[in-house]
Structure 1
Amino acid sequence: MKRFKILRNILLATIASSSLLNIAHAEDALEMELTANKVIKNADGKVSYAPVSTAPAGTVIQYKANYTNTINKDINDLAVILPIPANMVFNGEAMPASAQASIDGKNYADMPLMRKVDGKMVKIPYSEYRTLRWNIKLLPAKKSAAVALNTIVE
């Protein structure tokens, strides 16, 4: 059974997300906490979460980033980015659903991503998604905002 080191992915996602924040405010005003949790669905369809550090292939893992404005001033127009870690595949679930996606980490568009194949527009498979971005218009002073994406361990 293949196991994957979730902790390493948390570190990589933290580094990538922190380096891509609104540079004017990132160092002094914003704290980010990133967690990885196994997504557990019971027979009734209710979802719960459990901390995880390793997981077998096929496990759904939610990466959740909580951004806190630590100063007494609002932050406007904040773009936060979470990468899809290596050995993980995005499953199409992002919270909030307003996330945009990228297959190259540079160009973002609303989901689902599309491309032209043989003259027809087709959906790009989630397995090709590399990063998600959320635009937070306003993060009030001393408040927090959370974003999350679900992945599947390959």
Structure 2
Amino acid sequence: MKFFNSLRATLLITTVSLGLLSTAHANDALKMDLTANQVVKNAEGKTSYLPVRNAPAGTVIQYKATYSNTINKDIQDLAVVLPIPANMAFTGDAIPSSAQASIDGKNYADMPLMRKVDGKMVKIPFSEYRTLRWNIKLLPAQKSAAVALNTTVN
């Protein structure tokens, strides 16, 4: 499960801003649960998500992070980031769709990302996206919020 382990390792070093909470308190305030599931569509177009450990090239994998506020105080202005593993390509599907993207992990903008080529603005291919960020304005006490992105195994 190389693609899942590399994402988990990257997430451990990814910072999460917690607005008004102190750093020491923030570590106890937010719990994150990460899952990786294969995205499968049946003949009728219905989508299901199956646990996955190994996947061949071309398989669509959804990474879903659920953030739980474990304290009795609301968390405001929470920014959460999910990196896209090196051996995966973003498909363009993000939940919620309000995610911002980055090709360098530093500069974020609304999707689709654009750049100037020969004097014209063109869309940057999803395969160049490296991280997505969601801004959660309010995570109420003892509640959870989930974000997800779909990738394809290279």
Normalised by the size of structure 2, how large is the TM-score?
A: 0.92
Indicate how the Cα distance of structure 1 residues 26 and 84 shifts in structure 2: closer, same or farther if over 3 A, else same: farther
Q: How many angstroms does 1:15 deviate by?
A: 1.4
Q: How many angstroms does 1:14 deviate by?
A: 3.1
Q: How many angstroms does 1:108 deviate by?
A: 0.2
For residues 80-107 of structure 1, give each alpha carbon's deviation from its aligned partner in whole angstroms, at most 9, with x where no partner exists: 0000011000000000000000000000
Q: Gaps spanning 5+ residues in structure 2: where?
A: none
For residues 21-46 of structure 1, give each alpha carbon's deviation from its aligned partner in whole angstroms, at most 9, with x where no partner exists: 01545402000000000000011111
Paired with 1:22 and 1:145, the residues of 2 have a C-alpha distance of 15
Paired with 1:79 and 1:26, the residues of 2 have a C-alpha distance of 13
Structure 2 match to 1:95: 95
Structure 2 match to 1:106: 106
2:5 is paired with a residue whose SS is: helix
Count of residues in Structure 1 that have an aligned counterpart in Structure 2: 149
Paired with 1:67 and 1:33, the residues of 2 have a C-alpha distance of 7
Please list, as runs of the form range in 1=range in 2, the aligned pairs for 1:1-154 lying within 5 A after superposition.
5-16=2-13, 19-22=14-17, 24=23, 26-154=26-154
Percent identity reads 72
Q: Gaps spanning 5+ residues in structure 1: where?
A: none
Normalised by the size of structure 1, how large is the TM-score?
A: 0.92
Q: How many angstroms does 1:117 deviate by?
A: 0.5
For residues 102-149 of structure 1, give each alpha carbon's deviation from its aligned partner in whole angstroms, at most 9, with x where no partner exists: 000000000000000011000000011000000000000000000000
RMSD: 1.3
